[in-house]
């Protein structure tokens, strides 16, 4: 594959953009080499500046469940652009999207739109603190909730990609006084959680959990653990915040909480909710949401929040998801991916000194590279095998050079998209097999 144009653009990018990027993992730091520069998307594929075509499993890190340039979505956006992109007033579009969500998701009685998942979590935490008049937040090791100060502590995602060590995955620039109010606990440990509540319950405003932790690999949690969080929150008058920035509208329309009938006090959304445009949202019980300004005293605002272009993208995407059997197709593909993996990849791994477990939560998947002969599902970030990144790097480059775009990090998950077919999954699996065969 020729990457001349990509390389030229990258060399320009590093002159003007910090680290050449606007979001760290895009820099290929943990897989090495120059990032490929994309210019166009078409259904399940991305096309780079040298006209190479890639089957895309990154899907903009999750938002593009409908793939690239869905026709219906593009038409709606063109139409809206001609009417205006932002008015700074109330619009019908934001109302329609809010109604679609509130009428279909049992734990969202009211919602507010913001511009990213980071903003959604930041605002939900402020609301939780304002509502409970308490200050401490419990988060879990390896869960990523955006790049605002209080959540950049042992946070996974890009921080883990670059340090390779969860104990180092926090950011300079976050004052210790901020971090002091963030209590970081291990996932999957009810007892530690309970003890923390026993000693600090009167100070804990909220517990935030990535519904299915998907920023340090994919670490599905036991339902009992999630329920325990909810019980303890109720007992100690803290709020349970489910971060569904990744899982919202992906694990079915009502996300993880709808699927497992969990009723969090607040939920945060991002990614799919904006149909590829920058949108986030937080919502939940009316009684809590009414503490937000202008009705309540907890201040939260945004110049471009709820703008008609983003709302049109979100509304159209969610309507398609709700009405067009998207999840059925995605789940069929996910099942096919698993059976193909078992049939072709498992035997190929026999001769290797490592193994790979395919971890899946519907259309989200993770290639969990691990020591040979270990098969149990891991639920904690400290159980991730340290040698995985070196093996993943070889897989990544083989896949890219053969027309498959997977995340440039061993700790990031992959996403299936609606335009994908079984033939696309075959293409992925066959190339994965060749990549594995080539590794010593």
Q: Catalytic residues, which ones?
A: 144, 243, 271
Closest approach of ligand PLP to the CB of residue 173, in Å: 17
Q: Which of 129, 53, 49 is nearest to 300 (CA)?
A: 129
Residues 6+ apart with CB under 8 A from 9: 37, 49
The interface mask with ligand PLP, positions 48-67, x = CB under 6 A, is: -------------x------
The stretch near ligand PLP (CB under 6 A) out of 78-86, 113-121, 412-420, 425-433 is 113-121
Instruction: Give me the sign of the Cα torsion angle 261, 266, 272, 274.
Output: positive
Of 23 and 290, CB closest to ligand PLP: 23
By CB under 6 A, tell whether 333 contacts ligand PLP: no
Q: Which of 49, 56, 188, 210 binds ligand PLP (CB under 6 A)?
A: 210
**How many angstroms separate the CA atoms of 93 and 111, rounded?**
14
Residue 145 near residue 210, CB atoms below 8 Å: yes
Q: Which of 291, 288, 270 is nearest to 279 (CA)?
A: 270
The stretch near ligand PLP (CB under 6 A) out of 29-37, 67-75, 144-152, 375-383 is 144-152
Length of the chain: 440
By CB under 6 A, tell whether 251 contacts ligand PLP: no
By CB under 6 A, tell whether 146 contacts ligand PLP: yes
Q: Which two tokens stand for residue 149?
A: 């100060």
Q: Which of 215, 307, 363, 368 binds ligand PLP (CB under 6 A)?
A: 215
Q: Residues 401 to 420: which contact ligand PLP by CB under 6 A?
A: none
Of 4 and 22, CB closest to ligand PLP: 22
**How many angstroms separate the CA atoms of 368 and 364, rounded?**
13
CA angle, 225 as apex, 224 and 229 as ends, to 5°? 115
**How many angstroms separate the CA atoms of 392 and 178, rounded?**
35
Residue ranges of alpha helices (H) inside 281-387 are 286-289, 308-323, 326-340, 346-349
Q: Which of 121, 160, 238, 333 binds ligand PLP (CB under 6 A)?
A: 121
Q: Which of 46, 76, 246, 326 binds ligand PLP (CB under 6 A)?
A: 246
Residue 182's beta-bridge partner residues? 137
Of 147 and 398, CB closest to ligand PLP: 147
Between strands 204-210 and 136-140, the pairing is parallel
The stretch near ligand PLP (CB under 6 A) out of 94-102, 112-120, 132-140, 424-432 is 112-120
In 10 A of CB 103, how many CB atoms? 9
Q: How many amino acids of this chain bind ligand PLP (CB under 6 A)? A: 15
The stretch near ligand PLP (CB under 6 A) out of 94-102, 140-148, 217-225, 317-325 is 140-148
Q: Contact positions toward ligand PLP, by CB under 6 A?
A: 61, 116-118, 121, 144-146, 210, 215, 243, 245-246, 270, 280
């Amino acid at each position: 594959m020729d990457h001349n144009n990509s390389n030229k653009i990258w060399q320009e990018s590093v002159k003007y953009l910090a680290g050449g990027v606007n979001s760290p993992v895009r820099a290929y730091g943990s897989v090495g080499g120059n990032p490929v520069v994309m210019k166009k998307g078409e259904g399940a594929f991305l096309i780079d500046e040298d006209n190479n075509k890639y089957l895309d499993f990154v899907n903009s890190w999750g938002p593009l469940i409908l793939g690239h340039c869905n026709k219906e979505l593009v038409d709606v956006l063109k139409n809206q652009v001609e009417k205006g992109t932002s008015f700074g007033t109330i619009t019908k579009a934001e109302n329609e999207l809010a109604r679609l969500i509130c009428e279909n998701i049992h734990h969202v009685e009211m919602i507010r739109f913001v511009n990213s998942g980071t903003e959604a979590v930041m605002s939900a935490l402020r609301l939780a603190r304002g509502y409970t008049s308490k200050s401490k937040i419990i988060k879990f090791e390896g869960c990523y909730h955006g790049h605002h100060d209080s959540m950049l502590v042992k946070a996974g995602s890009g921080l883990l990609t670059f340090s390779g060590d969860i104990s180092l995955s926090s950011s300079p620039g976050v004052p210790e006084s901020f971090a002091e109010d963030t209590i970081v606990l291990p996932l999957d440990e009810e007892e530690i959680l309970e003890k923390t509540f026993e000693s600090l319950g009167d100070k804990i405003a909220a517990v935030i959990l990535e519904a299915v932790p998907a920023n340090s690999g994919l670490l599905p949690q036991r339902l009992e653990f999630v329920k325990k969080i909810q019980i303890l929150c109720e007992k100690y008058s803290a709020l349970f915040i489910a971060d569904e920035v990744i899982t919202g509208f992906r694990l079915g329309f009502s996300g993880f909480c709808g699927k497992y009938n969990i009723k969090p006090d607040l939920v945060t959304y991002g990614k799919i909710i904006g149909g590829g445009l920058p949108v986030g949202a937080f919502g939940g019980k009316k009684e809590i949401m009414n503490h937000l300004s202008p009705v309540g005293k907890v201040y939260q605002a945004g110049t471009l929040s709820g703008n008609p272009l983003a709302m049109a993208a979100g509304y159209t995407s969610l309507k398609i998801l709700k009405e067009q059997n998207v999840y059925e197709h995605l789940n069929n593909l996910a099942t096919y991916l698993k059976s193909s993996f078992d049939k072709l990849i498992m035997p190929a791994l026999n001769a290797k000194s490592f193994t790979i477990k395919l971890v899946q939560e519907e259309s989200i998947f993770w290639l969990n590279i691990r020591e040979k002969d270990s098969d149990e599902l891991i639920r904690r970030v400290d159980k991730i095998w340290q040698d995985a990144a070196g093996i993943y790097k070889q897989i990544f480059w083989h896949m890219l050079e053969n027309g498959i775009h997977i995340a440039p990090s061993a700790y990031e998950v992959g996403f299936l998209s609606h335009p994908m077919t079984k033939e696309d999954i075959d293409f992925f699996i066959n190339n994965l097999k060749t990549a594995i065969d080539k590794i010593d």
